[in-house]
């Protein structure tokens, strides 16, 4: 289901050899990702929801784990 509210799913990404997990759901053509690094949302567009969720989770991890 894309419009309306979809079930909550797990999403995993590997960055620099480390695995990170979060959850995502789709609501009204928006993908929402929640993780220990925060939350982020983006329009679904033509991509698969899981692909968008992985991008969003990667962005959250990179911004939340920077060690500058």
Structure tokens belonging to residue 55: 């991008």
Domain extent for 24: 9-64
Residue 2 has pLDDT above 70, yes or no: no
Model pTM score: 0.87
pLDDT category at 1 given cuts 50, 70, 90 is very low
* Within a domain: 2: no
- The pLDDT tens digits for 4-61 are 778 999 999 999 999 999 999 999 999 999 999 999 999 999 999 999 999 999 999 9
pLDDT of res. 5: 76
Instruction: Give residue 9's region: left, alpha or beta (phi > 0; psi -120 to 50).
Output: beta
The 9-15 sheet, strands edge to edge = 9-15, 18-27, 30-35, 38-43
Based on the structure, what is the number of domains in the chain? 1
Residue 4 domain flag: no
Q: Is residue 1 part of a domain?
A: no
């Amino acid at each position: 289901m894309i419009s309306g509210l979809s079930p909550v799913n797990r999403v995993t990404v590997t960055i620099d050899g480390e695995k990170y997990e979060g959850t995502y759901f789709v609501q009204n053509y928006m993908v929402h990702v929640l993780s220990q690094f925060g939350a982020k949302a983006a329009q679904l567009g033509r991509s698969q929801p899981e692909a968008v969720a992985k991008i969003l989770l990667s962005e959250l991890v990179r911004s939340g784990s920077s060690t500058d």
